[in-house]
Amino acid sequence: MTQEELDALIMSGDIDLDVDVASKEKSSKKDIQKPKEEKHSVDQNEELSAGYIDPKNYKVEAGKKWPPPPPTDEHKVVHQLDDVTKDSEVKASQIFDQLDHISNGADNIVKLSKEIQKYLQKNQDIFEKLTKKFPHVETFSNSLEETKQITTTLKSITQNAHNCSDASVQAMDIMQFQDIHRQKIERVINVMRALAQYMNSLFEGKIDDSKRVSSAVYIAGDDKKDMASEEDIEALIASFGKQ
């Protein structure tokens, strides 16, 4: 098709130039695909290699090499042990209260069962006399057997109440070991605190940290872009001479 024929078609309106141009632009955009940006999530191993670890991502796991944990509340050893001893003492006191409540309830069951036992014994005596006097009346004999069965059941209930009371006392004795464990943890805390105070005293200096001259972040030999220049080093040396 010649240029004159193409111009004639455009002038007659048979070809929409804007649509044709737009379609060409869309096809060209499809042909050119931008590479997707890869999002690199910094995991803990990369943080380790970079020499920095986010305290929020720090997790202690067996079998892995980790630097010292950050001094957050989650990793403060003495702080955690103090919480353990405090919480365990509170929970132990609550357990003792519940065991005491169970023991008192079992004792009350035993006391009430004795009253019921007296009542059943009187009924049994009455039905025994009635059965002997009226042996042909089945109601008296049946009531006597039922009373004996209820008496046997009551004895079983009383025995179970005694067992609950004894088990509660034994549980209280076992819980005494919790107090011993608390004392052992407190002894460990005291040793750690004494060791921390000793280390602080051992590394204590005569000059306050706020009065000390700041050191260069990077010096010659460091592979860093913002390494200290020679002027920075000379200024640092000069500051030492003024002291």
Q: What is the pLDDT of residues 166-175, one digit of tens each?
A: 999 999 998 8
Nearest to 157 by CA among 83, 98, 106: 106
**CA-based Rg of the chain, rounded to a whole angstrom?**
45
Looking at the domain assignment, is residue 172 inside a domain?
A: yes
**pTM: predicted TM-score of the whole model, two decimal places:** 0.54
- Judge whether 3 lies within some domain: no
Q: Is the alpha carbon torsion for 69, 71, 72, 75 positive or negative?
A: positive
Q: If residue 46 lies in a helix (H) or strand (E), which one and from where to where?
A: helix 44-50
Task: Identify the CA nearest to 98 among candidates 147, 201, 199, 167.
Answer: 167
117 belongs to a structural domain: yes
Residue 196 structural domain: 77-202
Number of domains in the chain: 1
Please indicate, yes or no, if residue 112 is contained in any of the structural domains: yes
The candidate with the shortest Cα–Cα distance to 82, out of 175, 182, 176, 200, is 182
The CATH number that applies at residue 167 is 1.20.120
Note whether residue 239 is domain-resident. no
Domain contains 44: no
The mean pLDDT values, 10 residues at a time, for the chain of 243 residues are: 55 51 48 44 49 62 68 80 89 92 94 93 93 90 93 94 94 88 90 90 82 65 61 71 58
The predicted pLDDT at position 144 comes to 92
d(CA 2, CA 125): 133
Q: What is the DSSP letter of 207?
A: S
Query: What one-letter code names the amino acid at 64?
Result: K
